Structure 1
C-alpha cells in the first residue's frame, strides 16, 4: 500500500500538487482550490504532530471502528466524506502558490518523521504505518477532487 514514508510516493504526490493552480476547480464538494490547499496544510500539521486537536466525541464513538476501512487497502476515500470542524477553512481566498509550497514542504517532513504519537481528531491514536497510509489517501483524495 502507498505511504508518504516512501520517497517515490511523496515525489508523485508533490508533482501532482504542483500541477494545481488558481484555475483548478473541484469535481465535487464545496471547497475552492485555496480552501483545499489550506485544509491539506492544516491536516499535515495535525498528522505531523505540529497541531493538536481534541479527539472528537463522535470519533471516540466511531473512529476506531472506521479506521480499518480507511487503511485496509488502496481504495480511494469516497467523495463528500465529512471534514473535521477544526480543518474547515472559512476564508475563500489566499495565496495559492504559498499554500501549495507549504503543503509540499510538510509532505517532505515524512522522510524524517520521529514523532509517531499522533492522535487524529477522529480516529484517535495512530501507528506510524497508519499515519503514512492515511496521509497518502487524504492527499490523493483531494488531488482527485481537483484533477491533480
Structure 2
C-alpha cells in the first residue's frame, strides 16, 4: 500500500489526479468524475474542515463495530461498495475546483506527516494510528482513481 506521508507516493497520487479529465468516465459505479473528486475531498474535509457533524455516540459505536476494520484495514475496497450518506455527492461539481482541492489536501497531509496523525481522532472511528489513517486515505484514493482508469 502506498504511504500518504511520503513525497514520492503523494507525487504518484497527484499525477493520477492530473491524469483525470473533466470527461473521464468510470469503469464502474454511478459517480461522474467531478462527483468522485468531491467525494474524495469529504475524507479530508472531515479532518481539516469543521463542516461535517460528528456522528452521535450510537452511530459511532456502530461504525466502530461494523465498518472500521474495512475502512482502515489493509484490504482494498471492492467495486460498488456502499458509501456513508455524508460521502454521497449529488449534482454537478466544478471539476477544476475539486481537483485542486484534492491536490491541496494530499499535499497538506504529506507535509503534516505521520506524527501528526498518530492517535489523531477520526469523527467516525475515534483515535486511529498513523497506519490506519494512511490505509484509509491511500486505499480510498487508489480505489477511486482505479475506478476512473488512472
TM-score range relative to shorter protein? 0.7 to 0.9
Q: Does 1:2 align with 2:2?
A: yes
Asked whether the equivalents of residues 37 and 95 of structure 2 are also in contact (C-alpha less than 8 Å), the reply is yes
Asked whether the equivalents of residues 73 and 136 of structure 2 are also in contact (C-alpha less than 8 Å), the reply is no
- The residue that corresponds to 1:117 in the other structure is 120
Asked whether the equivalents of residues 73 and 135 of structure 2 are also in contact (C-alpha less than 8 Å), the reply is no
TM-score (norm 2): 0.82
Question: Which of 108, 128, 131 is the aligned partner of 2:133?
Answer: 131
Q: Does 1:60 align with 2:46?
A: no
Cα displacement string for residues 40-95 of structure 1 (whole angstroms, at most 9, x for unaligned residues): 1122221x34244323645522534543455443x42111111111121111x232
User: 1:42–1:65: structure 2 CA closer, same or farther, 3 Å change rule?
Assistant: closer
User: 1:76–1:11: structure 2 CA closer, same or farther, 3 Å change rule?
Assistant: same
- The residue that corresponds to 2:81 in the other structure is 81
- 2 CA distance for matches of 1:67 and 1:87? 16
Asked whether the equivalents of residues 72 and 133 of structure 2 are also in contact (C-alpha less than 8 Å), the reply is no
Cα displacement string for residues 104-145 of structure 1 (whole angstroms, at most 9, x for unaligned residues): 111001123336523243x44322221112100000000011
The DSSP-based 3-state class of the residue aligned with 1:133 is helix
Unaligned runs of 5+ in 1: none
Question: Which of 112, 135, 145 is the aligned partner of 2:147?
Answer: 145
- 2 CA distance for matches of 1:64 and 1:120? 15
TM-score (norm 1): 0.83
Asked whether the equivalents of residues 73 and 132 of structure 2 are also in contact (C-alpha less than 8 Å), the reply is no
User: 1:49–1:128: structure 2 CA closer, same or farther, 3 Å change rule?
Assistant: farther
What is the aligned-residue RMSD (CA, Å)?
A: 2.2
- The residue that corresponds to 1:105 in the other structure is 104
- 1 CA distance for matches of 2:93 and 2:68? 33
Unaligned runs of 5+ in 2: none
Q: How many residues align?
A: 144
